[in-house]
Amino acid sequence: MAKSRYREIGDAILAEISSVPGAGQVHGHQRFSADLGKYLDLFRWETGGGLAQIRGWVLTRERAGEEAASLGSNASGGFTPAGLSRRTHTFLLFGIMSAEDAAGSEAAFQDLIEEICDRFRDEGTLRLLNESGAPRVRSLERLQPPQVDLIELRTFGNVLCHYAEIRLQAIERIRRD
């Protein structure tokens, strides 16, 4: 039986985010520690010059919907042949960065959001192709361009941080048996 490759899709998305200079700590699942200091350490990042700040991103799958294709199906985004299902995974990428007014951290965080979104505007990246042009995840039809749904200040642990939510939808074709 064919199955979803959502973990492979998530890993490929993480690889793209990790390639953004200055992205900070990048995690492929929600992190937790009962010890607040240890939890914050999971997001501690060296900015250079011996300075450290809270900066990082977490990718998690938020939901998945599926529709069955039929011989005459013409689902939004393209034709899906009979015998296939089209599964849409919504990945939530949330990011944080220590707020530092004197350093102009809001502008730096906004720029970082755009750098991450830029990684997913290229046609090759939207299809998660590797360096030789082959798909990293064979079942992936494409990613939709990123949607920045929220940017605000939040307390993260005991640190005031810039916070953003970016959603990426991955459309996968899965063969039904």
pTM, entire model: 0.86
Rounded Cα gap, residues 98 and 118, in angstroms: 22
Structure tokens at 82: 């009979």
Helices (H), 119-154: 123-126
Q: What is the pLDDT of residues 36-87, one digit of tens each?
A: 889 999 999 988 777 889 999 999 999 999 888 655 544 555 555 667 888 8
| Secondary structure tally for the chain: helices H, strands E | 4, 7
How far apart, in Å, do the first and last CA atoms of the chain sit? 6
> Which CATH code of 3.20.20.70, 3.30.70.100, 3.20.20.370, 3.30.2000.30 fits the domain covering 6-175?
3.30.2000.30
H or E element at residue 25: strand 25-27
Over the Cα atoms of the chain, what is R_g?
18
* Each residue's pLDDT tens digit, 44-57: 998 877 788 999 99
Question: Alpha-carbon distance 42 to 170, whole Å?
Answer: 27
Q: Where are the domains of the chain?
A: 6-175
